[in-house]
Amino acid sequence: MKIALIGAGPRNLAILGRLLFTVNTKATYEIDLFDPQPIGGRVWDPFLTNNHAFLMNTYANQVTLFDDYELLDHETPIERPNLLTWAQTVAFDYLNDHPEYPDAYRNEVLTLISANTFASRGLFGVYAAWYFEEVQAACPKNIHIHFHQTEIIDMEKGARRFSLTGRDGFTSKYDRVVLAPGHIDNQPNKKQKELAAFAKRHSLAYFPASHPAENDFDKINENDQVLIEGLGLSFFDVILSLTGAKGGTFVTNNDGSLTYRPSGHEPHIVAGAFNGLPPRTKGVNQKESAQVYQPHFFTLKRMKEEASNNLGKISFEHFMKTLKQELTFKYLYNQVQLLKLDTGVSKASIISDLMHPERWSSINEKYGLHLDMSIDWDSLVFPAMEWPDAKTFQKNLHKHIENDIRSAKLGNDWSPLTGSYYILRDMRDTIRTLYNENYFFADGYEKMLTTFRAFDNQLSAGPPLVRMQQLLALMDAGILEIAGPGFKTSRGHSTFVATDRYGQHFEGTALIEARLSEINFNIAKSPLIQSLQKQRLIRKNDRLRKSDGSLLLGNTIKVDLKTLTVLDKNNQPVDGFFVSGIPLEGERWFNTVIPRPYVNTLIFEESKRLVEALQERHSHFHKLLQKKD
Ligand SMILES: Cc1cc2nc3c(=O)[nH]c(=O)nc-3n(C[C@H](O)[C@H](O)[C@H](O)COP(=O)(O)OP(=O)(O)OC[C@H]3O[C@@H](n4cnc5c(N)ncnc54)[C@H](O)[C@@H]3O)c2cc1C
């Protein structure tokens, strides 16, 4: 059987690992892996200079590529180190044997010493390359693997097989094709085209949404004022490129805070977003690689029980109420753990009362405590929307970031606030099960993709702590200014302009959209995706509709969810053609994650289903064999 894996990112690498250890040992397999970027894929390219310094947003001990999902009992001939244990053991020798990798990674592995470290994105790329060598070396004799560093620009479906064409002229036919393209770029929209033309006319610099590490800001300097649209994860990458990469340094003060020492070559930066604030930072890591929070209220069992009394569904309101109850429990529990109690009062008895939400309001009185019982999770998400004017905004912004940093320093388990935010990550598996297994009503899906996504992203998907400290240092140094909510950018007379809801006005010689392209295959730049659309081999997902009748998931490719087989224009399975990962975002909950060891991680669960389907013979196999392609 000939198998093509298009994309050499974590997803197809996980599928490759799964294939090696589960395929029929009597058959022969030719597996070709394609990507224009090195093994590991575009996000993690170790040869991109920015990726030496840009950090992963996941702790190194919580990152792996070795499939553990139901493969635990199998005798596999390889070790399965996570990124951290790999960095602490074989990585240095591997890097010495591979002088093509920059010295930055040798230096990095010498310092990547604890579970509280974030690796650089490039180091994950090196880990991926090492993983690929390991699985190749352990590969059974009946499997042959080849990596082709090229983009697949076309695929045609024949009667029996699929013909692939590479940008480098490569062509070949395959029985099975798995497309896992990750975040792909889109064709520019009208506004982006106008901004690009405007920038050209006035010799300004414009950087539309894309992968942040691929931007080249070399030409931006101290004479520029830069407007940055977005305060999310890409924003943190961008500000590092405009400051540290311009020669400035962050100095650690005695109290652990940072001071920025400018080089003099930094532009002045004005950044903003619709809600005015960056997401909450991740706390100091106190968790082992597979240590996840065990909920008391928001359990799968309880949520399924609720559904069984409600036509098999859960209302979005019940989902949020129970989830917030769990967050509040953790918030109170952590406050109790941090208390120094008088003798005579035991933490155990307070916690036993905490297990009953109806007792929460009487706990302070009963034990003579001052626990903060007034937590309102909704108002924590976008607090700046309530700040009335620019002066209040600036005053509160600084305090907000300082408080966030202070809270994060108490740790991602023990801090009352940051520890509560983190359990949103730990409970993703339950959320994913409810979402993927159809437990919501149609309006619930719409609210999950809007209200809950904003809630989750803002509280649990922020940057490493050091990035937030750097942000504060840049604000204090006067290099970076954050504008109020409602930040909007456009064209002025001869410069870019930005405004916020307070009526502030900013001008810029450069405009950077600090975000990834929207996930929407309909407007993808990729020639392969465009060709598949033209042939009507892929189609919009029409499974769910919004309240106004439009498609809720129209930006995602429609697949049979059991097998991840693509469905064509007639809703018929394209046997042997699978799509995995980011193009299914929204159909599946929170796809944009890297595998975490030993926690039934999504990518491994998905790989298992896909590989099982991939090995099945089509029901009409005998008829197919008589056809020519
Ligand atoms: C900037 C950035 C930072 C991130 N940081 C984190 C993080 O710290 N932690 C985390 O959990 N997740 C992170 N993510 C989410 C990320 O999507 C996943 O972690 C993971 O990389 C997804 O794996 P994937 O294989 O599905 O996609 P990708 O890693 O994106 O890989 C897909 C690959 O397919 C290739 N490809 C696309 N089209 C073709 C074609 N036609 N022919 C050949 N090859 C093709 C691309 O070049 C790419 O290399 C980040 C994402 C981005 C964009």
Q: Is 11 in the pocket of ligand 1 (CB under 6 A)?
A: yes
Q: How far is CA 311 from CA 46, 52, 315, 492, in A?
A: 50, 52, 11, 55
Q: What is the pTM of this model?
A: 0.94
Residues 509 and 584 in one domain: no
Instruction: Tell me if 179 sits within 8 A of 578, measured CB to CB.
Output: yes
The DSSP 8-state label assigned to residue 357 in this structure reads: G
Give residues with Cβ within 8 angstroms of 8, minimum separation 6. Answer: 33, 34, 35, 37, 38, 39, 40, 41, 128, 147
Residue 57 CB–ligand 1 contact under 6 Å: yes
Beta strands at 2-6 and 176-179: parallel, antiparallel or unpaired: parallel
In this prediction, residue 69 carries a pLDDT of 74
For residues 69 and 85, what is the distance between their CA atoms, to the nearest angstrom? 19
The pairing of strands 510-513 and 205-207 is parallel
Q: Is position 469 within any domain?
A: no
Residues 528, 569 within the same domain: yes
User: Would the CB of 180 count as within 6 Å of ligand 1?
Assistant: yes
Which residues touch 478 (CB under 8 Å, ≥6 apart)?
none
- Residue 295 included in any domain: no
CB 282 within 8 A of CB 117: no
Q: How far are the Cα atoms of 196, 214, 273, 345, 546 from residue 556, in angstroms, in the given order? A: 27, 25, 26, 55, 15
Binding site membership of 583 for ligand 1 (Cβ less than 6 Å):
no
Residue 178 lies in a domain: yes
Cβ atoms within 10 Å, residue 133: 14
Rounded-to-integer distance, Cα 449 and Cα 433, Å: 15
Domain count, the chain: 3
**How many angstroms separate the alpha carbon of residue 43 from the centre of ligand 1?**
5
Report which ligand 1 atom has the smallest distance to the Cα of 7: 34
SS3 per-residue string spanning 277-311:
CCCCCCCCCCCCCCCCCCCCCCCHHHHHHHHHCCC
Which single residue is written with the structure tokens 């792996």?
64
End-of-domain residue from the set 460, 483, 502: 460
Residues 351, 411 share a domain? yes
Q: Are residues 431 and 577 in the same domain?
A: no
Task: Extract the residue ranges of the chain whose pLDDT is less than 50.
Answer: none
571 in the same domain as 608: yes
1 close to 28: Cβ distance less than 8 angstroms? yes
3-class SS at 327?
helix
* Residues 155 and 41: beta-carbon distance below 8 Å: no
Tokens of 216: 């080249």
Report the C-alpha gap between 308 and 302 in whole angstroms.
Answer: 10
Which one-letter DSSP state was computed for residue 551? B
- Same domain? For 45 and 173 the reply is yes
Q: Are residues 323 and 406 in the same domain?
A: yes
Q: Same domain for 253 and 337?
A: no
Residue 109 forms part of a structural domain: no
Q: Are residues 200 and 323 in the same domain?
A: no
pLDDT of residue 601: 84
Domain boundary pick from 460, 488, 503: 460
Strand arrangement of the beta sheet that strand 565-567 belongs to: 143-148, 29-34, 2-6, 176-179, 573-579, 565-567, 559-560
Domain containing 218 equals 192-278+474-513
Task: Write down the H helix ranges in 142-254.
Answer: 190-201, 233-242
335 inside domain: yes
Is 526 near ligand 1, meaning CB less than 6 Å away?
yes
Give residue 9 CA to ligand 1 midpoint distance, Å. Answer: 5
- CB 305 within 8 Å of CB 314: no
**Which H or E run includes 453?**
helix 453-460
* 38 Cβ below 6 A of ligand 1: no
Please identify, by atom number, the ligand 1 atom nearest to the C-alpha of residue 42: 49
Does any domain span residue 466? no
For the record, the structure tokens of 206 come out as 């414009």
Q: Please list, in sequence order, all residues whose beta carbon lies within 8 angstroms of the beta carbon of residue 197, skipping any fewer than 6 positions away.
A: none
Q: Dump pLDDT digits (tens) for 193-252.
A: 999 999 999 999 999 999 999 999 999 999 999 999 999 999 999 999 999 999 999 999
The helix/strand/coil state of 266 is: coil
Is residue 586 in some structural domain?
A: yes
Q: How far apart are CA 121 and CA 117, in angstroms?
A: 12
Cα 136 to ligand 1 centroid, rounded to whole Å: 22
Across the chain, mean pLDDT equals 94
Report the residue count for the chain: 629
What separation in Å is there between the alpha carbon of 40 and the centre of ligand 1? 8
Atom of ligand 1 nearest to the CA of 184: 37
| Distance between Cα 42 and ligand 1 center (Å) | 6
Domain assignment present for 333: yes
What's the pLDDT at 621?
Answer: 52
The SS3 of residue 601 is: coil
Helix (H) or strand (E) run with residue 209 in it = none
Q: What is the strand order of the sheet 171-174 is part of?
A: 152-157, 162-166, 171-174
Instruction: Collect all residues with Cβ–Cβ distance below 8 Å to 475 and sequence separation of at least 6.
Output: 398, 401, 481, 482
| 316 and 432 inside one domain | yes
Euclidean distance between CA atoms 4 and 177, whole angstroms:
5
Q: Is the CB of 579 under 6 A from ligand 1?
A: no
Query: Which amino acid, 370?
Result: H
CATH number of the domain bearing residue 543: 3.50.50.60
Cα of 207 to ligand 1 centre, how many Å?
A: 20
Among candidates 35, 15, 31, 27, which has minimal Cα distance to 176? 31
Q: Rounded to an integer, what is the distance from CA 283 to the centroid of its chain?
A: 17
Cβ of 212 closer than 6 Å to ligand 1, yes or no, is yes
Please indicate, yes or no, whether residues 542 and 482 belong to a single structural domain of this protein.
no
> 177: Cβ below 6 Å to ligand 1?
no
Q: Answer yes or no: do 503 and 364 share one domain.
A: no
CB 539 near ligand 1, within 6 Å: no
